[in-house]
Amino acid sequence: MGLEEKLKDKEFRLLYELECAKVALAQRISEIREEKHLRQADLAKKLGVSQQFISQIETGEEKNLTLETMIKIARSLGRGLSISFPKLTGRHASCLKIT
C-alpha cells in the first residue's frame, strides 16, 4: 500500500501530518540558529537547558515541546512565534505551515 492509500485513513493521516510538522519545525529552528551563528550549546545556555535538549528538538526526538518552550526558543533567536488556523483546502492540505 502506497502513501496515497495510507493517507486516506484519518488516523494515519493525522500521525503523518504531526511527524511532518515536527520535522519542519525542527529544521526551521536549526536553520535560524545557524543563521545567527549559534551553536546548539549557545542556544541551550540562553534558554537554561542542556545542549542535548536542543539536539533532541532539532532532530524531532523531543516529544514534549510546549508552546512556552517554542516561544522561548523564538525569543532567544530574535524572532516571534506566529500560529494561525487557516481553512484546510484540498484533499491533502497540510495542517501546519512553518516559516
Fold of the domain built from segment(s) 3-76: 434 Repressor (Amino-terminal Domain) (1.10.260)
First to last CA, the chain: 32
- In the numeric block, the cell 501530518 is attached to 17
DSSP 4-41: HHHTTSHHHHHHHHHHHHHHHHHHHHHHHHHHTT--HH
Indicate the pTM of the whole model. Answer: 0.82
Per-residue DSSP letter, 73? H
Mean pLDDT for the stretch of residues 32-39 = 98
Query: Model confidence over 53-78: pLDDT tens digits?
Result: 999 999 989 888 899 999 999 999 99
